[in-house]
Amino acid sequence: MNTDKNKMAEIILSEDVAKGLYSNLAFIAHSSSEFIVDFAQMLPGMPKPTVKSRIILTAEHAKRLLLALQDNIKKYETQFGKIDLEPNQNIISPLPFGHGEA
């Protein structure tokens, strides 16, 4: 039985967007109504990180993204093994994935 709840949304994915962008750094800021995520690249020989994409989300959608990422990481680790983080990387520092306030 196929219900509306079980249907996947039909999406349009252009060729340029389908290629994706590499990011090894994210800056996250928020206001009372939205979250802003800047995805950046920091590579050897580059004096400063370069923001490649900015995504603006409502607070509700940011939380949905968090839950979806947690679910996908759990599935990934079940299939491929635990993802280990370097012990000296602090989750609240701006590098490589940090946070801030807009």
If one counts the domains in the chain, the total is: 1
The answer to whether position 89 is within a domain reads: no
- At residue 68 the predicted structure's pLDDT band, cuts being 50, 70 and 90, is very high
The answer to whether position 71 is within a domain reads: yes
Given a cut of 80, whether residue 1 has pLDDT beyond it is: no
pTM above 0.85, yes or no: no
* Tokens encoding 68: 């979806």
Q: What is the CA radius of gyration of the chain?
A: 17
Give every CB contact of residue 102 below 8 A, 6+ residues apart in sequence: 29, 30, 31, 34, 36
- Structural domain harbouring 31: 21-80
Cβ neighbourhood burial of 70 (10 Å; 0-12, 13-18, 19+): exposed
pLDDT of residue 41: 92
